[in-house]
Amino acid sequence: MRRAGLFGVPRVRPWSWRAFLLGCVVIAVSAVLQGICVALGAKFYFAAFLPGLFVLGLVAGAPAAVFAALFTVPLVWWAFIPPFFEFSALSSTNADSINLFCLLAVLLIGLADLCRETMSIISRGGLKPPGESAATNPQ
């Protein structure tokens, strides 16, 4: 029995141009959602980008998710941290927000990569039981 990947969602090869294009699309959609949140008064600058990074890591792999995370930091600094649409010196609070985002992005991308590998092991039929070795005592 052959199982589908992530509930029928096709997976993309990690280093392909499609993976990086999907990363750009995820960043754009997350930026629109973050813009809506900022317009409503939210101060969480990276909130909309974290779920997108996790899903991107599952579907397209770790390289595309790392690319998206690295591209997200200057985008948020320029577009969502006041003063809007210009680079200015970061306050300690904003620098802490960027540091926390980087930490969470590393953890989420690692988790997504582990989940992606687990799905590929399951789709191949699971782990094979180890064979008898010389160190095993059959008594």
End-to-end CA distance of the chain, in Å? 36
Which residues, 6 or more positions from 18, have their beta carbon under 8 angstroms from its beta carbon? 12, 60
pTM of the model: 0.82
Cis bond leading into 14, ω under 30°? no
Burial class of residue 46 in the structure, from the number of CB atoms within 10 Å of its CB (0-12 exposed, 13-18 middle, 19+ buried): buried
> What pLDDT was estimated at residue 4?
47
What pLDDT, on the 0 to 100 scale, is given for residue 139?
Answer: 60
pLDDT tens, the chain, 139 aa long: 344 455 566 778 989 999 999 999 999 999 999 999 989 988 888 999 999 999 999 999 999 999 999 999 999 999 998 888 999 999 999 999 999 999 999 999 999 999 998 888 888 887 777 665 555 665 6
Rg of the chain in Å (alpha carbons):
20
